[in-house]
Amino acid sequence: MELKQLRYFMALVKYEHVSKTADFLNIAQPTLSKSLHTLERELGTPLFDRIGNRIRLNANGRRFREYAEKSLQYLDAGILDVKNTIYDITDRITVDCWCFAPIIWPCVAEYQRLNPLTEFMLLQSSLGQMGSLSDHEADFILRSSANEDAVSDSSSGQFWVSQTLFEEQMFLVMGPAFPAFNDLPVDTDTIDLSLLQDAPFITMRVNTAFINDITYQICQNAGFWPRILFQTDDFLLKMHIVRSGSAVAILPNACLDDARMLCPGLKILKIKNYESFRRIRLLRKRKMLLTEAAQDFWNFVLDYYNLPADERD
């Protein structure tokens, strides 16, 4: 008895029709019929009753189906278990996110798919939770910046290696309830930011030790200092305020899908005469301080974002 005979048999049970089952299995009908006849001959009894063009399990077939189904379930479970041992790294990896955590989630999800025994703690930190680099026990820190500044903490002797993952463009977002929304041309995708010099903005809370909200830099380039109506590190609150029409905001590309869901009709505008980008960076501890799982994840991240191998300590 061959494994494919059992799989063919279970498909016949489902479709109760030889030609339809053959089409589903992408095999010739005579091949399927021969497989069934061989199986019935080996068991010494018919498994189906023929009713016109259809087939239906008889008493012997129903009895055999129960065991065939369990056998295939056990076999498939064994195959999956063996495949999982290929990726047998087990540990917990902690990523402390000093910017929008969903940015790194697709990479984490793909790694977990390949390494199902590895646990992740993906922490969304607010400004008040960040502290200094020397205070962090996380394996990695995800952060963003408008410049490529070096990241180290000389006070503790703990050196963090920084790797830029990608750059992304910043956009101005405006909710349909904002007073100037209806003044925008329907088909426009850019805006002269100087036209909003009197508009209220919402930004992250400002702390120059960690965050320099790029909103200030972009507005200064347009010739004005933004009038800040709200400051918050909570993305959900920020989008609630944008949806209410109380303020506008500048968001990175990584946040736009979630922003659209939270604010239907959101207008997303490129900033005219200014190419505004930010860098998304992942920081790691020195390799000698990384666990096997953390080191493996770091290498995976580099491959995921098509970055060169990291030879630094």
**pLDDT on residue 3:** 84
Q: How many CB atoms lie within 10 A of CB 288?
A: 7
Q: How far apart are CA 196 and CA 280, in angstroms?
A: 27
Assess whether pLDDT exceeds 50 at residue 287.
yes
What pLDDT does 51 receive? 85
Confidence of residue 83 (pLDDT cuts 50, 70, 90): low
Residue type, 310: D
Could you report how far apart the first and last alpha carbons of the chain are, in Å?
Answer: 56
Section 4-16 average pLDDT:
87
Q: State the pLDDT confidence band at 154, using cuts at 50, 70 and 90.
A: very low
35/4 Cα distance (integer angstroms):
9
pLDDT of the residue at 7:
87
pLDDT above 70: percentage of residues in the chain: 86
Q: Residues with Cβ < 8 Å from 123, sequence gap 6 or more?
A: 94, 95, 96, 97, 101, 138
